[in-house]
Structure 1
Amino acid sequence: MSTNVRPVRDERDGLLAFLAQQRYVLSLAAHGLTDEQARRVPSRSALSIGGLIKHAARTERGWMDTVLQRRPEGTLQQRAEQYLADFQLTGSETLADVIAEYRQAGRETEEVISAIPDLGKPVPVPKGVPWFPPDVDEWSVRWVLLHLIQETARHAGHADIIREHLDGATAFPLMAAAEGWPETPWIKPWKPDPV
Protein backbone atom coordinates (compact mmCIF):
# COMPACT_ATOMS: atom_id res chain seq x y z
CA MET A 1 0.00 0.00 0.00
CA SER A 2 1.31 3.43 -0.77
CA THR A 3 0.51 7.06 -0.06
CA ASN A 4 -2.73 7.13 -2.05
CA VAL A 5 -5.77 4.89 -1.94
CA ARG A 6 -6.15 2.89 -5.13
CA PRO A 7 -9.02 3.74 -7.49
CA VAL A 8 -12.28 2.46 -6.00
CA ARG A 9 -15.19 0.65 -7.65
CA ASP A 10 -18.05 1.98 -5.59
CA GLU A 11 -18.99 3.51 -2.24
CA ARG A 12 -18.50 0.35 -0.17
CA ASP A 13 -15.15 -0.37 -1.77
CA GLY A 14 -14.12 3.26 -1.25
CA LEU A 15 -15.06 3.34 2.43
CA LEU A 16 -13.26 0.07 3.12
CA ALA A 17 -10.22 1.14 1.08
CA PHE A 18 -9.90 4.48 2.90
CA LEU A 19 -10.30 2.75 6.26
CA ALA A 20 -7.61 0.21 5.28
CA GLN A 21 -5.30 3.07 4.25
CA GLN A 22 -5.71 4.77 7.62
CA ARG A 23 -5.09 1.47 9.44
CA TYR A 24 -1.93 1.06 7.41
CA VAL A 25 -0.71 4.58 8.19
CA LEU A 26 -1.39 4.09 11.91
CA SER A 27 0.52 0.79 11.92
CA LEU A 28 3.31 2.35 9.87
CA ALA A 29 4.21 4.55 12.83
CA ALA A 30 5.41 1.36 14.54
CA HIS A 31 7.76 0.34 11.71
CA GLY A 32 11.14 -0.65 13.11
CA LEU A 33 10.23 -0.11 16.77
CA THR A 34 11.05 -2.49 19.58
CA ASP A 35 8.39 -3.47 22.12
CA GLU A 36 10.01 -1.15 24.63
CA GLN A 37 9.87 1.78 22.21
CA ALA A 38 6.24 0.97 21.36
CA ARG A 39 5.40 1.27 25.09
CA ARG A 40 7.13 4.62 25.56
CA VAL A 41 5.09 7.72 26.31
CA PRO A 42 7.45 10.48 25.08
CA SER A 43 5.12 13.46 25.34
CA ARG A 44 2.81 15.00 27.93
CA SER A 45 -0.05 12.76 26.81
CA ALA A 46 -0.44 9.19 28.07
CA LEU A 47 -0.32 7.81 24.53
CA SER A 48 2.13 5.29 23.12
CA ILE A 49 2.27 3.85 19.63
CA GLY A 50 1.58 0.31 20.85
CA GLY A 51 -1.32 1.55 22.95
CA LEU A 52 -2.83 3.48 20.05
CA ILE A 53 -2.72 0.43 17.78
CA LYS A 54 -4.24 -1.74 20.51
CA HIS A 55 -6.96 0.85 21.15
CA ALA A 56 -7.75 1.20 17.43
CA ALA A 57 -8.10 -2.58 17.03
CA ARG A 58 -10.45 -2.90 19.98
CA THR A 59 -12.45 0.17 19.05
CA GLU A 60 -12.97 -1.12 15.52
CA ARG A 61 -14.13 -4.46 16.91
CA GLY A 62 -16.46 -2.62 19.27
CA TRP A 63 -18.04 -0.78 16.36
CA MET A 64 -18.57 -4.03 14.46
CA ASP A 65 -20.22 -5.42 17.62
CA THR A 66 -22.52 -2.39 17.55
CA VAL A 67 -23.31 -2.91 13.85
CA LEU A 68 -24.13 -6.58 14.52
CA GLN A 69 -25.98 -5.70 17.74
CA ARG A 70 -23.75 -7.91 19.89
CA ARG A 71 -24.05 -6.90 23.53
CA PRO A 72 -20.80 -5.79 25.18
CA GLU A 73 -19.62 -7.72 28.21
CA GLY A 74 -19.39 -6.16 31.67
CA THR A 75 -20.90 -3.12 33.29
CA LEU A 76 -20.55 0.36 31.88
CA GLN A 77 -17.93 1.07 34.57
CA GLN A 78 -15.95 -2.08 33.66
CA ARG A 79 -16.12 -1.17 29.97
CA ALA A 80 -14.91 2.38 30.72
CA GLU A 81 -11.97 0.98 32.72
CA GLN A 82 -11.15 -1.44 29.88
CA TYR A 83 -11.34 1.42 27.39
CA LEU A 84 -8.66 3.32 29.33
CA ALA A 85 -6.53 0.18 29.76
CA ASP A 86 -6.67 -0.43 26.00
CA PHE A 87 -4.43 2.62 25.48
CA GLN A 88 -1.55 0.84 27.24
CA LEU A 89 0.71 -1.84 25.82
CA THR A 90 1.25 -4.01 28.89
CA GLY A 91 4.48 -5.82 29.74
CA SER A 92 3.04 -9.15 28.59
CA GLU A 93 1.90 -7.78 25.20
CA THR A 94 4.16 -7.31 22.23
CA LEU A 95 3.96 -4.87 19.37
CA ALA A 96 3.69 -7.83 16.99
CA ASP A 97 0.69 -9.09 19.01
CA VAL A 98 -1.25 -5.83 18.77
CA ILE A 99 -0.41 -5.35 15.09
CA ALA A 100 -1.66 -8.88 14.40
CA GLU A 101 -4.80 -8.13 16.42
CA TYR A 102 -5.32 -4.95 14.40
CA ARG A 103 -4.93 -6.78 11.08
CA GLN A 104 -7.43 -9.39 12.25
CA ALA A 105 -9.88 -6.67 13.30
CA GLY A 106 -9.55 -5.17 9.80
CA ARG A 107 -10.30 -8.52 8.17
CA GLU A 108 -13.32 -8.96 10.44
CA THR A 109 -14.61 -5.49 9.53
CA GLU A 110 -14.34 -6.28 5.83
CA GLU A 111 -16.23 -9.55 6.35
CA VAL A 112 -18.99 -7.87 8.36
CA ILE A 113 -19.42 -4.99 5.91
CA SER A 114 -19.30 -7.26 2.86
CA ALA A 115 -22.23 -9.25 4.27
CA ILE A 116 -24.47 -6.19 4.69
CA PRO A 117 -26.32 -5.48 1.43
CA ASP A 118 -27.32 -1.88 2.24
CA LEU A 119 -24.91 0.61 3.82
CA GLY A 120 -27.98 2.60 4.82
CA LYS A 121 -28.99 -0.19 7.22
CA PRO A 122 -29.83 1.35 10.60
CA VAL A 123 -27.46 0.81 13.51
CA PRO A 124 -29.22 1.57 16.82
CA VAL A 125 -27.31 3.99 19.05
CA PRO A 126 -26.56 2.28 22.37
CA LYS A 127 -28.52 4.00 25.13
CA GLY A 128 -27.11 5.10 28.45
CA VAL A 129 -23.58 5.56 27.13
CA PRO A 130 -22.48 9.08 28.09
CA TRP A 131 -20.39 9.70 24.96
CA PHE A 132 -23.24 8.81 22.57
CA PRO A 133 -25.86 11.45 21.78
CA PRO A 134 -29.13 10.86 23.66
CA ASP A 135 -31.21 12.50 20.91
CA VAL A 136 -30.09 10.17 18.08
CA ASP A 137 -31.79 6.79 17.80
CA GLU A 138 -29.76 5.29 14.96
CA TRP A 139 -26.81 5.71 12.68
CA SER A 140 -26.27 3.89 9.42
CA VAL A 141 -23.56 1.37 8.58
CA ARG A 142 -22.21 4.08 6.26
CA TRP A 143 -21.97 6.51 9.19
CA VAL A 144 -20.12 3.89 11.28
CA LEU A 145 -17.54 3.40 8.50
CA LEU A 146 -17.05 7.15 8.11
CA HIS A 147 -16.66 7.46 11.88
CA LEU A 148 -14.05 4.66 11.91
CA ILE A 149 -12.11 6.42 9.14
CA GLN A 150 -12.23 9.66 11.14
CA GLU A 151 -11.16 8.05 14.41
CA THR A 152 -8.40 5.98 12.80
CA ALA A 153 -7.03 9.05 10.99
CA ARG A 154 -7.02 11.00 14.27
CA HIS A 155 -5.02 8.27 15.98
CA ALA A 156 -2.67 7.95 13.00
CA GLY A 157 -1.86 11.63 13.51
CA HIS A 158 -1.27 11.02 17.22
CA ALA A 159 1.05 8.13 16.33
CA ASP A 160 2.99 10.32 13.86
CA ILE A 161 3.71 12.85 16.59
CA ILE A 162 4.68 10.19 19.12
CA ARG A 163 6.99 8.52 16.62
CA GLU A 164 8.68 11.79 15.81
CA HIS A 165 9.26 12.32 19.54
CA LEU A 166 10.76 8.83 19.85
CA ASP A 167 13.40 8.97 17.14
CA GLY A 168 12.63 11.76 14.71
CA ALA A 169 11.09 9.42 12.10
CA THR A 170 8.25 10.83 10.00
CA ALA A 171 5.58 9.22 7.84
CA PHE A 172 7.07 9.34 4.35
CA PRO A 173 10.57 8.09 5.25
CA LEU A 174 8.91 5.31 7.30
CA MET A 175 6.68 4.40 4.35
CA ALA A 176 9.70 4.45 2.04
CA ALA A 177 11.53 2.07 4.38
CA ALA A 178 8.54 -0.24 4.88
CA GLU A 179 7.82 -0.43 1.16
CA GLY A 180 11.43 -0.59 -0.03
CA TRP A 181 11.45 2.66 -2.00
CA PRO A 182 14.82 3.63 -3.47
CA GLU A 183 16.53 6.67 -2.02
CA THR A 184 16.00 9.82 -4.08
CA PRO A 185 17.11 13.42 -3.67
CA TRP A 186 13.70 14.24 -2.12
CA ILE A 187 13.11 11.20 0.11
CA LYS A 188 15.44 8.98 2.07
CA PRO A 189 13.96 5.79 3.55
CA TRP A 190 14.15 5.74 7.35
CA LYS A 191 16.98 3.74 8.86
CA PRO A 192 17.44 2.98 12.55
CA ASP A 193 20.10 4.95 14.33
CA PRO A 194 23.33 2.95 14.55
CA VAL A 195 23.91 1.66 18.05
Structure 2
Amino acid sequence: MKPARDLADTIELHLQYLDRYRGIIETKLTGMSDSDLRSSRLPSGWTPLALLKHLIFMERRWLRWGFVAEPVDHPWGDSADDPDGPWTLGPDDTLPGLLAELHTGGEFTRSVVAGVDPATVASAGGRFGTDDRPTLNWILFHVLQEYARHAGHLDVARELADGATGE
Protein backbone atom coordinates (compact mmCIF):
# COMPACT_ATOMS: atom_id res chain seq x y z
CA MET A 1 0.00 0.00 0.00
CA LYS A 2 1.17 3.54 -0.71
CA PRO A 3 2.25 5.80 2.15
CA ALA A 4 -0.64 7.77 3.69
CA ARG A 5 0.49 11.09 2.15
CA ASP A 6 -0.25 9.66 -1.29
CA LEU A 7 -3.78 8.65 -0.36
CA ALA A 8 -5.60 11.94 0.08
CA ASP A 9 -7.70 10.84 -2.91
CA THR A 10 -10.48 8.86 -1.20
CA ILE A 11 -11.29 6.91 -4.36
CA GLU A 12 -7.72 5.68 -4.66
CA LEU A 13 -7.69 4.92 -0.93
CA HIS A 14 -10.81 2.76 -1.32
CA LEU A 15 -9.39 1.03 -4.40
CA GLN A 16 -6.12 0.17 -2.67
CA TYR A 17 -7.92 -1.23 0.36
CA LEU A 18 -10.23 -3.25 -1.89
CA ASP A 19 -7.18 -4.68 -3.68
CA ARG A 20 -5.66 -5.51 -0.29
CA TYR A 21 -8.78 -7.33 0.88
CA ARG A 22 -9.07 -9.27 -2.39
CA GLY A 23 -5.53 -10.48 -1.70
CA ILE A 24 -6.42 -11.40 1.89
CA ILE A 25 -9.48 -13.32 0.68
CA GLU A 26 -7.37 -15.20 -1.87
CA THR A 27 -4.71 -16.03 0.73
CA LYS A 28 -7.33 -17.30 3.19
CA LEU A 29 -8.89 -19.61 0.60
CA THR A 30 -5.73 -20.85 -1.07
CA GLY A 31 -4.54 -24.06 0.50
CA MET A 32 -7.94 -25.17 1.75
CA SER A 33 -9.06 -28.56 0.52
CA ASP A 34 -11.98 -28.70 -1.90
CA SER A 35 -13.96 -30.41 0.83
CA ASP A 36 -13.27 -27.56 3.28
CA LEU A 37 -14.07 -24.96 0.61
CA ARG A 38 -17.46 -26.58 -0.06
CA SER A 39 -18.53 -27.51 3.46
CA SER A 40 -19.61 -25.49 6.45
CA ARG A 41 -18.69 -25.79 10.09
CA LEU A 42 -21.24 -23.15 11.07
CA PRO A 43 -24.95 -23.42 11.93
CA SER A 44 -25.84 -20.90 9.19
CA GLY A 45 -24.43 -23.29 6.59
CA TRP A 46 -22.39 -20.91 4.43
CA THR A 47 -19.21 -22.28 2.90
CA PRO A 48 -15.94 -20.49 2.17
CA LEU A 49 -16.34 -20.95 -1.59
CA ALA A 50 -19.92 -19.65 -1.47
CA LEU A 51 -18.69 -16.61 0.46
CA LEU A 52 -16.18 -15.95 -2.32
CA LYS A 53 -18.96 -16.17 -4.90
CA HIS A 54 -21.03 -13.78 -2.77
CA LEU A 55 -18.22 -11.20 -2.78
CA ILE A 56 -18.03 -11.37 -6.59
CA PHE A 57 -21.76 -10.81 -6.98
CA MET A 58 -21.89 -8.19 -4.23
CA GLU A 59 -19.26 -6.04 -5.96
CA ARG A 60 -20.99 -6.56 -9.30
CA ARG A 61 -24.34 -5.47 -7.84
CA TRP A 62 -22.92 -2.29 -6.38
CA LEU A 63 -20.54 -1.20 -9.16
CA ARG A 64 -21.60 -2.70 -12.48
CA TRP A 65 -25.37 -2.88 -11.91
CA GLY A 66 -25.44 -0.06 -9.36
CA PHE A 67 -22.98 2.75 -10.04
CA VAL A 68 -22.75 2.26 -13.82
CA ALA A 69 -26.37 1.00 -14.23
CA GLU A 70 -25.22 -1.67 -16.65
CA PRO A 71 -27.68 -4.51 -17.28
CA VAL A 72 -26.61 -7.58 -15.31
CA ASP A 73 -27.99 -11.07 -15.87
CA HIS A 74 -28.79 -12.71 -12.55
CA PRO A 75 -27.55 -9.99 -10.17
CA TRP A 76 -28.46 -12.31 -7.28
CA GLY A 77 -26.74 -15.33 -8.84
CA ASP A 78 -24.89 -15.95 -5.58
CA SER A 79 -28.22 -16.86 -3.96
CA ALA A 80 -30.10 -18.64 -6.77
CA ASP A 81 -31.69 -15.34 -7.87
CA ASP A 82 -33.34 -14.85 -4.47
CA PRO A 83 -32.07 -11.63 -2.82
CA ASP A 84 -32.96 -13.07 0.59
CA GLY A 85 -31.84 -16.63 -0.13
CA PRO A 86 -28.76 -18.45 1.16
CA TRP A 87 -25.56 -18.38 -0.87
CA THR A 88 -25.33 -21.20 -3.37
CA LEU A 89 -22.71 -22.92 -5.48
CA GLY A 90 -23.01 -24.56 -8.86
CA PRO A 91 -21.11 -27.67 -9.90
CA ASP A 92 -18.82 -25.56 -12.12
CA ASP A 93 -17.83 -23.14 -9.34
CA THR A 94 -14.15 -23.69 -8.56
CA LEU A 95 -11.64 -21.78 -6.49
CA PRO A 96 -9.46 -20.83 -9.50
CA GLY A 97 -12.47 -19.77 -11.56
CA LEU A 98 -14.04 -17.72 -8.81
CA LEU A 99 -10.72 -16.09 -7.88
CA ALA A 100 -10.30 -15.07 -11.52
CA GLU A 101 -13.80 -13.53 -11.43
CA LEU A 102 -12.95 -11.74 -8.18
CA HIS A 103 -9.90 -10.09 -9.71
CA THR A 104 -11.70 -9.31 -12.98
CA GLY A 105 -14.39 -7.58 -10.96
CA GLY A 106 -11.71 -5.57 -9.18
CA GLU A 107 -10.23 -4.48 -12.49
CA PHE A 108 -13.68 -3.40 -13.66
CA THR A 109 -14.23 -1.42 -10.47
CA ARG A 110 -10.91 0.35 -10.85
CA SER A 111 -11.54 1.11 -14.53
CA VAL A 112 -14.86 2.85 -13.90
CA VAL A 113 -14.10 4.75 -10.70
CA ALA A 114 -10.42 5.77 -10.80
CA GLY A 115 -10.24 9.54 -10.86
CA VAL A 116 -14.01 9.99 -10.51
CA ASP A 117 -15.30 12.57 -8.04
CA PRO A 118 -16.37 10.68 -4.89
CA ALA A 119 -19.56 12.77 -4.74
CA THR A 120 -20.71 11.43 -8.12
CA VAL A 121 -24.15 9.90 -7.81
CA ALA A 122 -24.82 6.41 -9.20
CA SER A 123 -26.56 6.24 -12.56
CA ALA A 124 -30.28 5.57 -12.62
CA GLY A 125 -31.72 2.59 -14.42
CA GLY A 126 -29.77 -0.36 -13.09
CA ARG A 127 -30.00 -1.21 -9.43
CA PHE A 128 -31.23 2.26 -8.52
CA GLY A 129 -34.22 4.36 -9.45
CA THR A 130 -34.08 8.12 -9.71
CA ASP A 131 -34.56 8.92 -6.01
CA ASP A 132 -32.42 6.36 -4.19
CA ARG A 133 -28.99 6.69 -5.77
CA PRO A 134 -25.99 6.73 -3.43
CA THR A 135 -22.70 8.49 -4.13
CA LEU A 136 -19.64 6.66 -5.38
CA ASN A 137 -17.92 7.30 -2.06
CA TRP A 138 -20.81 5.63 -0.20
CA ILE A 139 -20.82 2.65 -2.58
CA LEU A 140 -17.06 2.09 -2.29
CA PHE A 141 -17.18 2.40 1.49
CA HIS A 142 -20.01 -0.14 1.61
CA VAL A 143 -18.18 -2.58 -0.67
CA LEU A 144 -15.02 -2.18 1.41
CA GLN A 145 -16.86 -2.94 4.66
CA GLU A 146 -18.37 -6.05 3.03
CA TYR A 147 -14.89 -7.28 2.12
CA ALA A 148 -13.51 -6.54 5.59
CA ARG A 149 -16.44 -8.20 7.33
CA HIS A 150 -16.25 -11.32 5.22
CA ALA A 151 -12.46 -11.53 5.46
CA GLY A 152 -13.04 -11.83 9.21
CA HIS A 153 -15.55 -14.59 8.62
CA LEU A 154 -12.99 -16.42 6.50
CA ASP A 155 -10.43 -16.07 9.31
CA VAL A 156 -12.75 -18.09 11.51
CA ALA A 157 -13.68 -20.62 8.80
CA ARG A 158 -10.01 -21.22 7.96
CA GLU A 159 -9.01 -21.65 11.59
CA LEU A 160 -11.84 -24.12 12.14
CA ALA A 161 -10.88 -26.04 8.98
CA ASP A 162 -7.14 -26.46 9.50
CA GLY A 163 -5.90 -24.21 12.29
CA ALA A 164 -4.35 -21.56 10.00
CA THR A 165 -4.57 -18.08 11.56
CA GLY A 166 -3.58 -14.52 10.70
CA GLU A 167 -4.09 -12.38 7.64
- Scaled by the length of structure 1, the TM-score of the pair is 0.70
Q: How does 1:69-108 map to 2 (within 5 A)?
A: 69-73=69-73, 81-82=80-81, 83=83, 87-108=87-108
Aligned residues: 158
The 1:126–1:14 alpha-carbon spacing in structure 2 relative to 1, beyond 3 Å, is same
For 1:99 and 1:32, how far apart are their aligned partners in 2? 13
Query: What is the aligned partner in structure 2 of residue 175 from structure 1?
Result: none
Q: Does 1:25 align with 2:27?
A: no
Query: What is the aligned partner in structure 2 of residue 45 from structure 1?
Result: 44
Cα deviation, residue 91, structure 1: 2.8
The 1:20–1:142 alpha-carbon spacing in structure 2 relative to 1, beyond 3 Å, is same
Cα deviation, residue 53, structure 1: 0.8
Could you tell me whether the CA contact under 8 Å between 1:34 and 1:95 is conserved in 2?
A: no
Query: What is the aligned partner in structure 1 of residue 3 from structure 2?
Result: 7
The 1:84–1:100 alpha-carbon spacing in structure 2 relative to 1, beyond 3 Å, is farther
Could you tell me whether the CA contact under 8 Å between 2:53 and 2:78 is conserved in 1?
A: no
For 2:104 and 2:76, how far apart are their aligned partners in 1? 27
Q: Does 1:158 align with 2:153?
A: yes
Could you tell me whether the CA contact under 8 Å between 2:48 and 2:157 is conserved in 1?
A: yes
Cα deviation, residue 171, structure 1: 2.2
Q: How does 1:159-178 map to 2 (within 5 A)?
A: 159-172=154-167
Match of 1:126 among 125, 128, 134: 128
- 3-state DSSP of counterpart to 1:138: coil
Q: CA RMSD in A?
A: 2.6
For 2:71 and 2:98, how far apart are their aligned partners in 1? 23
For 2:32 and 2:73, how far apart are their aligned partners in 1? 33
- Scaled by the length of structure 2, the TM-score of the pair is 0.81
Cα deviation, residue 70, structure 1: 2.0
For 2:31 and 2:77, how far apart are their aligned partners in 1? 34
Unaligned runs of 5+ in 1: 128-135, 173-195
What stretches of structure 1 move > 6 A for 4+ residues in a row?
76-80
For 1:30 and 1:145, how far apart are their aligned partners in 2? 23
Structure whose alpha-carbon radius of gyration is higher: 1
Residues 73-94 of structure 1, C-alpha deviations (whole Å, 9 max, x = no match): 46x9989642567823333221
Residues 17-62 of structure 1, C-alpha deviations (whole Å, 9 max, x = no match): 0111122222221021232221111121221111111110111011
Query: What is the aligned partner in structure 2 of residue 138 from structure 1?
Result: 133
Cα deviation, residue 111, structure 1: 0.6
Unaligned runs of 5+ in 2: none
Query: What is the aligned partner in structure 2 of residue 55 from structure 1?
Result: 54
